[in-house]
Amino acid sequence: MSALRVVEPAARPTGTSLRRCQVLGVLNVTPDSFSDGGRFAAAAAAVARGIELVRQGADIVDVGGESTRPGAVRVDEAEESRRVIPVIHALSAAGVRVSVDTMRASVAEQALAAGAVMVNDVSGGLADPAMLPLIAAAQTRCVLMHWRAHSEVMDAFAGYHAVVEEVCLELSKRVDAALAAGVGADRIVLDPGLGFAKNAEHNWSLLAGLPALRDLGFPLLIGASRKRFLADCVDYGGLAPDNPLDRDDASSAVAALAAAGGAWGVRVHTVAPAAAAVRVASRISAAGFGGR
C-alpha cells in the first residue's frame, strides 16, 4: 500500500489561495460507526477511501478506529491500533495529511510515528492522563473536544443550565490542563462536541453560540456531520430523518455556516459540498473586508 500516490488536484487559478476553513474528511476504520460502519474496515478499502476524500477536497483525513456513537462499547487498545496504524502509515506515505481520532495516548504515539500530523481527542485529554503530556512532547497540533463521559453512558450527562456558557467553561479547563502539560497554545484547536452528552436543543444552541466559542481565543473545529440532531431538518424530498446519509444536505449547510462564522475547520463525511462551502465563505469574507 505504501506505493499508492495521491493524484494532485489541478493547479488553482491565481488569486484563489485565500485563507479558509479546513475540511477534515471522516474515515471510520470500524465495523460499528453510526453512519458508515464496516464500509472501510479493511485496510485497503480505507486507504482508497482516504485518497478519494483528498481528491474530493479534504485538507486532512481524520482516521478513527473506535466508534464514539451513542451507546458504543470501547474496543481494546490492540484492536484500535490494528485498525488504524497501517492505514495512517499508507496514507501518510501517499502524501495525505492525516489526523488520528483517538482517546488513547499509546495509539496517538503510534499514529504520529506512522506519519499523522494531528491528534483529535474527543475526550479532550480526560480519558487518558498520558495524552496531554504525549502531545506536548510531540509538539503536534491537537483537537480538544468538550466531553463528559464515554459513549456508553454519555447521554446521562446531557444536563445543562446554560449550555454555551458551561461548554465554554469546561473547554477553558481543558485548555488550562493542556497548557500546564506543556502543550503550546498555538497547537490547540477546540471542538464543542456536538452530539456528545448533548441533546438536539443543546447542539443548536452551541451552533448559535459560535461567537462565544470563538471568544475563547482558539481555532474551532465543528463536527456536525450526519449527527442525529440534524434529523430535525430532514422533512423534505422524501428523505428519511432516521437515515444518517439523508442528513448530508443539512450537514453541508452547517459546514457552510460554520465556515462563514469563522470556524478553523469542519469535520464531514461528504467532502465535496463542504469543500465548496469553505471556499465560498472565504470569498464572501474577503469581499466584506476588502472588496468594497
Give yes or no for a contact between 72 and 152, defined as CB atoms under 8 angstroms apart: yes
User: Given this model, what pLDDT does residue 38 score?
Assistant: 65
CA nearest to 260, candidates 242, 244, 279: 279
Fold classification of 22-286 (topology level): TIM Barrel (3.20.20)
- pTM of this prediction? 0.90
Annotation marks residue 267 as catalytic: yes
Annotation marks residue 173 as catalytic: no
Give yes or no for a contact between 131 and 103, defined as CB atoms under 8 angstroms apart: yes
Residues 6+ apart with CB under 8 A from 93: 1, 2, 4, 115
Of the listed 267, 279, 283, 292, which one is catalytic?
Answer: 267
User: Given this model, what pLDDT does residue 19 score?
Assistant: 81
User: What SS3 state is found at 118?
Assistant: strand
* H-run or E-run covering 60: strand 60-64
State pLDDT tens for residues 192-234: 999 999 999 999 999 999 999 999 999 999 999 999 999 999 9
Give yes or no for a contact between 203 and 11, defined as CB atoms under 8 angstroms apart: no
Of the listed 226, 227, 247, 279, which one is catalytic?
Answer: 227
User: Given this model, what pLDDT does residue 292 score?
Assistant: 47
In angstroms and rounded to an integer, the radius of gyration of the C-alpha atoms of the chain is 18
Highest mean pLDDT among 7-16, 32-41, 77-86: 77-86
Residue bearing the bigger pLDDT, 6 or 263: 263
Q: What angle do CA 120, 124, 130 make, to 5 degrees?
A: 90
